[in-house]
Chains A and B, each alone.
Chain A
Amino acid sequence: MTNKLSLEEELETYFGYSTFRLGQKEIISDVLNGNDVLGILPTGTGKSICYQLPARMLEGTTIVVSPLISLMMDQVKELKAMNFKEVIALNSFLDYDKRKRIFKNLNQYKLIYVSPEMLQQKELQFYLKNISISLFVIDEAHCISQWGHEFRPDYQKLKSVINELGDPPVLALSATATKEVQDDIIHSLDRSIIRHIYPMDRSNISLSIQEVINNDEKLDIITSILSVHKVPSLIYFSSKNAAENVSHLLSERLPEHRIAFYHGGMEQMDRVAIQQQFMNNQIDIICCTSAFGMGINKNNIRFVFHYHFPGQIESYIQEIGRAGRDGNQSISILLYSRQDSFLPQKMIDSELPSDDDLIRVKQLIIRYQNENKIFPVELTEIQAMFGLSEVQWRFISSQLEKHGIKVENGIKYDESKVDETFQQIKYLRDERLYLKQSKLKDMMNWIQLKTCLRSGLYTNFQSGYTSVEEFCCSNCGIDLREFKPKQTTPLIQPSTWEKKLRRLLVVGDFE
Chain B
Amino acid sequence: MYVEGIILDCLYKIKINRSIYGIYHLLTGKKSIQSVHDARIFQLEKYYGVYLTLTREHFMHIIDDMVKDGALTEGDDELYFVTDAGKNRLAVFQSTTIYKYLNGLSFSAMERHFRDRLYLLVQTYSNILVNNYSFIPVIDSQEITKWVKDFYRRHYQSNTPDRLYLELHQLLSSLPKKEADIFVDRLSGYQYYGLSMDQLALKYKLSKDDITIYLTGITHELIKLVGQQKEIYPILSQLMKGFEQQKFITNTANQTYQLLQRQFSLEMIGQIRNLKLNTIYDHIVEIALYDSNFQIDYYVTKQEQEEIIDAIQKNNTFKLKTIKESCDSSISYFQIRLVLARLKELMPGEIS
Contact = CB atoms under 8 A, between A and B. Distances in A.
Interface string B122-165: 10011001100111111110110010000000000000011011
A273 B194 contact: yes
Contact of A276 (B177, B187, B193): B193
A501 B184 contact: yes
Contact of A95 (B122, B138, B146, B180): B146
Given A251-B202, A268-B140, A510 B190 contact: yes
B134 A77 contact: yes
B343 interface: no
Interface string A486-511: 00000000001110111111110010
Nearest to B134: A80
Contacts of A77: 134-136
B322 interface: no
**Most chain B CB inside 10 Å of its own CB: which residue of A95, A270, A503, A505:** A505
A88 to B, nearest CB: 12
Nearest to A506: B165
A267 B197 contact: yes
A501 B192 contact: no
Contacts of B189: 503-505
A503 B168 CA distance: 13
B204 to A, nearest CB: 13
Interface residues of A, number: 39
A501 B165 contact: yes
A94 interface: yes
A3 B13 CA distance: 83
B195 interface: yes
B65 interface: no
A262 B164 CA distance: 32
A503 B192 contact: yes
A269 interface: yes
Contacts, number: 106
A505 B136 contact: no
A497 B193 contact: no
A266 B196 contact: yes
A270 B194 CA distance: 9
Interface string B297-321: 0000000000000000000000000
Interface in B171-210: 172, 177, 180-181, 183-185, 187-199, 202
B291 to A, nearest CB: 34
Given A74-B136, A503-B189, A505-B126, A270 B196 contact: yes
B169 interface: yes
A282 interface: yes
B138 A269 contact: yes
Interface in B214-235: none
A272 B138 CA distance: 6
A451 interface: no
Given A282-B193, A497-B172, A270 B198 contact: yes
Contact of B181 (A244, A272, A273, A497): A497
A81 B191 CA distance: 13
Q: Interface residue tally of chain B, by bracket?
A: 35 or more
Given A270-B198, A507-B129, A497 B184 contact: yes
**Most chain A CB inside 10 Å of its own CB: which residue of B125, B138, B161, B192:** B192
Nearest to A258: B199
A301 interface: no
A260 interface: yes
Given A73-B136, A501-B184, A93 B142 contact: yes
Contact of A505 (B138, B139, B165, B196): B165
Given A77-B135, A504-B122, A273 B142 contact: no
A504 B198 contact: no
B140 to A, nearest CB: 6
Contacts of B177: 497
Contacts of B181: 496-497
A506 B161 contact: yes
**Most chain B CB inside 10 Å of its own CB: which residue of A77, A266, A272:** A272
B185 to A, nearest CB: 7
Contacts of B184: 497, 500-501
B140 A93 contact: yes
A273 B196 contact: yes
A244 B197 CA distance: 13
A108 interface: no
B122 A505 contact: yes
B122 A272 contact: no
20 contacts: A73-B136, A80-B133, A95-B146, A261-B198, A267-B53, A272-B193, A273-B188, A274-B193, A282-B193, A497-B172, A497-B181, A497-B183, A500-B184, A503-B192, A504-B192, A505-B125, A505-B161, A506-B129, A510-B190, A510-B192
Given A269-B139, A276-B136, A497-B172, 18 more contacts: A74-B136, A77-B134, A77-B136, A80-B133, A93-B142, A251-B202, A269-B119, A270-B196, A496-B181, A497-B177, A500-B187, A501-B184, A502-B165, A503-B189, A505-B126, A505-B129, A505-B162, A510-B191
Interface of B: 53, 119, 122, 125-126, 129-130, 133-140, 142-143, 146, 161-162, 164-165, 168-169, 172, 177, 180-181, 183-185, 187-199, 202
Q: Report, nearest first, the 4 A-B pairs whose CB atoms are least far apart.
A: A504-B189, A270-B196, A505-B165, A497-B184
Interface of A: 73-74, 76-77, 80-81, 93-95, 98, 244, 248, 251, 260-261, 266-270, 272-274, 276-277, 280, 282, 496-498, 500-507, 510
